[in-house]
Amino acid sequence: AHVGVDFLLEFEPVRRAAEIQTYRRLLPFVQTAEQLPNRDALRTQIRELFTSTDRATLDQVCGALRGFHVADVKAGIVDLIHGGELALANPRELTGFSIIERRQGNEHA
């Protein structure tokens, strides 16, 4: 069936519990981003911001994109994290000071 299978040892989910919890907290933002009428414009603006910087805090990105609602910006950031273009520097925590990074090799064409 050509199904990819990854085997996890028992301790892996326990060791990564905080990281898994963070990604579960992000899921509603991804779902919201899919419904945003301004999704494409927002993604474009976030991408442009990360062409001039490799890293920024969540609050800095929201501040730089004042033309959009803060909740929309957060959903847009998480949408790009979900798509692999951005990443959380420390996925074990999620605050306004969390650092968002541009993922190398995943620049939007």
**pLDDT at residue 109, rounded to an integer:** 44
pLDDT average, residue stretch 1-11:
83
**Dihedral angle, C-alpha 90, 94, 95, 100, nearest 10 °:** 50
Average pLDDT, whole number, for the chain?
A: 90
pTM: 0.80
Counted residue by residue, the chain has a size of 109
In tens, the pLDDT along 58-101 reads: 999 999 999 999 999 999 999 999 999 999 999 888 888 999 99
